[in-house]
Structure 1
Amino acid sequence: MRREAPVRFDERRETWDVFRYEDVNRVLKDHDAFTANRSLEDGESSGNREEGMPMLQTMITTDPPEQIRLREFVNERFQPGSIREYQPRVKELTKDLLDDLEDEEQFDFADEFAAPLPVIVIAELLGIPADRRDQFKEWSDALVARPADDTQAEMQRVQQERHQAQQEMGGYFAKLLAERQGGADDDLITLAANTEGLSRGEKIGFCMLLLLAGNITTTNLLTNAIWSLEEQELTDAVRTGEINHNQAIEEVLRYRSPIQSLKRIAVADVELNGRHIQAGDVVTLWLGAANRDSETFDSPEEFRPERKPNRHIAFGTGVHFCLGAHLARMEADVALKQLLDRFERLDADLSDIRPLSGLYGLESLPCEVSGNASPAK
């Protein structure tokens, strides 16, 4: 599609699809011509809804200056320096999960490691009990689910479950925000509760977004990393340092981007790669396709963990660059190091791949481990 129809209009979904890296990058950076404001969309059809994201007025669905206002109060907490300070705790949490798996010869990597770790991490940062992580996962799954088919009944079912999850999740955070008002704790919910200039709905949306984005993206990054490093030679090269593990993580983000698409709305008539897009048109930006554009990446269909430079846009770009990118990278860095230190072999069973609905990842990833080394420090 990048070559034959880099910008095309899908009449059934009523959206423009954009596939080339240069075009996707342009739209993401041009918030004067393209808005992230979801309130400008018409109707409730699947073509007019963000792929895999709930309708929340948050920092990802607004433009400057509103987007800056919603983001600036918490921005410092997600900068590299702040994330480095939290790294020792993530190492502890990772070690605890691996200790629980130490005597297992087989386990589901997605369910028993990749899913719980990010939920526990973001729950601690928010200041909520991680023992409710099954509930958090249930809400998250409902919010990112896509219909299994195009039938009205199926789309209605998904919409109802999404609405119910939003209501339950919103009520949960509304209660916590009220309880933490005036508190002195250092968690993110208390920070939001005591921040002036934000409405109650904006604070709730902030908490929901962090819990959702803080676990599903990293979960799929971890699972996709093991999936991508299926060849033992690659795993050994990363373990020994022959291949830099940070470069390997960046290549996983490019090759198997957890978030495959984003939506924008044109706010003015604009030409994009020879196609005329009118104000009000919905534009779907395919990050996964852009990250495999041969005009930007050499041999883009090959997984090359030593790839450098790697200008992928898995976390977006411009003013909407993912707030949690540094946290996700740090978690993946810690997890990959400890996994490879702990297990001499980690063989993933890829015979029955079951992709997730709405995201790029796997529902399940059975793994067999052997050659247990000393627990990572």
Structure 2
Amino acid sequence: MSDLATKWGVDESRFWLHGRMPQETVRFDEQTGLWNVYGHAEALAIFADPATYSSDTARVFLADSDLDVGDSFDGNPVVMDPPFHGRMRKLVSRAFTPKTVAELAPRIAALTHELLDDVAGRDRVELVSALAYPLPVIVIAELLGVPAGERDVFKGWVDKIFDSDREVSLESTEEQRQDIEEGLEQARELREYLRGHADERRRAPREDLLTKLVEAEVDGQRLSSTEVANFANVLLVAGHVTTTMLIGNTLLCLDADPDADARLRADRSLLPSTIEESLRYMSPFASLYRATMTEAEIAGQRIPKDQLLAVRIGAANRDERVFERPHTFDPGRDPNPHVGFGHGIHFCLGAPLARLEGRIALDILLDRFPVLRADPEHPPTFLPSPDLTGVKTLTLLSH
């Protein structure tokens, strides 16, 4: 297939699309102060050892900052370590089991048809706004019990949270401080919105995830409204961002490989493996971060305590030691041990839902549109954050 970075003029420094894992699987970057981890085995080892590699990265990232983060991280399972992380995760784990998720299939299919009905008959369709964004955000909003009709408001908040195109760095600059402040402000607005819904559930419980969080107890204590809101915030944001990128990325890959597109249209049993290869080839969350709790050794490199590690998922998923022809999109790849959903205790809770949404949406798209190809007059645009791999807009010709 043609190289996506070359075809669409993407900056080659965006390593998730163009570029290769360096010879060293672990490399210290003096400019940013980060330890970059590129290897697949090294990523697995880090994710499997939360006692050494903590998810509470703010402890290091904001160590010398005078920023007031307040209660921004209270109740957020993404930045928690054991044992509290496991107790928080258990609160909603039943909502994301394969069996529970499978029961959502009819609703996901109905929503997909409904959204595509709105663009039926058009010569070109902007896929992200038509389907890839609204579908997963409606599903997760309905699960939580917040109004899915307010999805445009959610999108405004989330876009601003991920709007910066700057690399994470321990070198404090005014620009980075401004980015952090703006991100915290957007997260705060979304949190206040969700806190209002949490308070309402205390007065009038319903059959939804938000009520379950409000009524749950951890170590004999109810969660505060702030903890509920931060937890719900993660579910709402992570519950749709990954799937939005997954759907768009898969279609972009199929556009660049007409043979793969033709095979998939002829044999839909290839959909699951096509989705897995998309998660590997264009990993939605291209980087995850950890902080060392003690001195550690990775790939022969001694890393002191209280250092910030950037685990480059996009590079690990192209590790030549693990993946044959790693820079080739191969929908039939087997085995495919990618880490697109992470690994260990922080493995993406919503992975079964994201896979199901992607499979159903893509299957229906292929049924309803015999032709879907990227519009050269309206080339795709990409999310600005170097930690995310996904299209921001993707205009497709449907005839």
TM superposition score normalised by structure 1: 0.91
Does residue 223 in structure 1 map to residue 248 in structure 2? yes
One-letter code aligned to 1:106: R
Does residue 72 in structure 1 map to residue 101 in structure 2? no
1:145 CA displacement: 2.4
Quote the Cα distance in structure 1 between the aligned partners of 2:79 and 2:113.
Answer: 36
- Contact residue 221 and residue 258 of structure 1 kept, 8 A: yes
Instruction: Determine helix, strand or coil for the equivalent of 2:159.
Output: helix
Match of 2:359 in 1: 333
Q: Deviations over 1:97-145 (max 9, x none)?
A: 1111112111211222111111111111111111211110111112222
Does residue 364 in structure 1 map to residue 393 in structure 2? yes
Match of 2:150 in 1: 132
Match of 1:354 in 2: 381
Does residue 23 in structure 1 map to residue 42 in structure 2? yes
Match of 2:124 in 1: 106
Match of 2:16 in 1: none
Q: Indicate the percent of aligned positions where both proteins have the same amino acid.
A: 35
Aligned 1:150-169 pairs, distance under 5 A: 152=173, 154-169=175-190
Does residue 14 in structure 1 map to residue 33 in structure 2? yes
1:362 CA displacement: 1.3
Aligned 1:315-334 pairs, distance under 5 A: 315-334=341-360
Instruction: Determine helix, strand or coil for the equivalent of 1:244.
Output: helix
Quote the Cα distance in structure 1 between the aligned partners of 2:326 and 2:119.
Answer: 35
Quote the Cα distance in structure 1 between the aligned partners of 2:268 and 2:229.
Answer: 45
- Contact residue 295 and residue 305 of structure 2 kept, 8 A: yes
One-letter code aligned to 2:183: R
Match of 1:255 in 2: 281
Q: Please list every run of at least 4 consecutive aligned residues from structure 1 whose deviation after the TM superposition is greater than 4 angstroms.
A: 54-57, 147-153
1:146 CA displacement: 2.1
Residue from 225, 228, 245 that aligns with 1:200: 225
Does residue 285 in structure 1 map to residue 278 in structure 2? no
Match of 2:197 in 1: 176
Match of 1:32 in 2: 51
Change beyond 3 A, Cα 1:364–1:235: same
1:152 CA displacement: 4.5
Instruction: Could you tell me which runs of 5 or more consecutive residues in structure 1 were left unpaired when the two chains were aligned.
Output: 47-53, 371-377
One-letter code aligned to 1:169: L
Quote the Cα distance in structure 2 between the aligned partners of 1:158 and 1:111.
Answer: 25
Match of 2:369 in 1: 343
Match of 2:208 in 1: 187
One-letter code aligned to 1:74: V
Quote the Cα distance in structure 2 between the aligned partners of 1:365 and 1:2.
Answer: 27
Match of 2:340 in 1: 314
Match of 1:5 in 2: 24
Pick which of 180-189 and 219-228 moved more. 180-189
- Contact residue 280 and residue 317 of structure 2 kept, 8 A: yes
1:147 CA displacement: 4.2
One-letter code aligned to 1:19: Y
Residue from 135, 143, 156 that aligns with 2:161: 143
Instruction: Could you tell me which runs of 5 or more consecutive residues in structure 2 were left unpaired when the two chains were aligned.
Output: 1-19, 66-71
1:349 CA displacement: 2.4
- Contact residue 147 and residue 154 of structure 1 kept, 8 A: no
- Contact residue 221 and residue 332 of structure 1 kept, 8 A: yes
Instruction: Determine helix, strand or coil for the equivalent of 1:265.
Output: strand
Quote the Cα distance in structure 2 between the aligned partners of 1:253 and 1:56.
Answer: 30
1:211 CA displacement: 0.9
Quote the Cα distance in structure 1 between the aligned partners of 2:359 and 2:330.
Answer: 17
Match of 1:374 in 2: none
Q: Deviations over 1:231-285 (max 9, x none)?
A: 3332221122176110000000000000000000111111111111011111110
1:299 CA displacement: 0.5
Q: Deviations over 1:39-83 (max 9, x none)?
A: 42143789xxxxxxx856521111111111111011011010000
- Contact residue 349 and residue 366 of structure 1 kept, 8 A: yes
Change beyond 3 A, Cα 1:160–1:247: same
Pick which of 360-369 and 326-335 moved more. 360-369
1:154 CA displacement: 3.8
One-letter code aligned to 2:321: E
One-letter code aligned to 2:396: C
Change beyond 3 A, Cα 1:153–1:277: closer
Quote the Cα distance in structure 1 between the aligned partners of 2:79 and 2:367.
Answer: 40
Number of equivalences: 363
Match of 1:62 in 2: 80
Instruction: Determine helix, strand or coil for the equivalent of 2:390.
Output: coil
Match of 2:13 in 1: none
Quote the Cα distance in structure 2 between the aligned partners of 1:45 and 1:225.
Answer: 41
Q: Deviations over 1:208-242 (max 9, x none)?
A: 00111111111010100100101333222112217
- Contact residue 37 and residue 63 of structure 1 kept, 8 A: yes
- Contact residue 123 and residue 129 of structure 1 kept, 8 A: yes
Quote the Cα distance in structure 1 between the aligned partners of 2:264 and 2:81.
Answer: 39
1:6 CA displacement: 1.4
Match of 2:5 in 1: none
1:35 CA displacement: 0.8
One-letter code aligned to 2:200: E
- Contact residue 75 and residue 228 of structure 2 kept, 8 A: no
